[in-house]
Amino acid sequence: MASDDKSLGTFRIGDLRRPEVRGSGKTPQEAAAPAGPSVGFPAVESRLEAGSIESLADELRPSYEKLEAMASDGDMKQKAAAKKAMAAYERTADLFEYLYETKAALQQGR
């Protein structure tokens, strides 16, 4: 047992951790602090500021129609992937609709 105790004297948990899971060295406050007025979604913000739900629907429609065609034709794996992508498009459109409604409500409250 004495030999085991000696080997534990040089043991460090950090030696067992893989390099890719080590922390960034930043405190949680530093990591969470935004650098400026934007949190990092300029594409979403620009669509919200300049567009409308109708313009977004017009932008998504061609891709969604292609996915509909893929979901009706092709092999089972392709159909399943197309249906998942269609669901993602629908969730995205719902999210943007909610964001546009929130933006309108905030502007009315001013």
pLDDT in tens, 1-60: 555 555 666 656 555 555 555 555 555 555 555 555 656 688 888 888 998 889 989 999
Q: Is the pTM of this model over 0.85?
A: no
**Whole-angstrom Cα distance, residue 8 to residue 40?**
46
Residue 86, H or E segment: helix 76-108
Is residue 95 within 8 A of residue 48, CB to CB? The reply is no
* pLDDT tens track for 69-90: 999 987 899 999 999 999 999 9
Q: At what angle do helices 76-108 and 42-50 cross, to 10 degrees?
A: 60
Q: At what angle do helices 53-72 and 76-108 cross, to 10 degrees?
A: 170
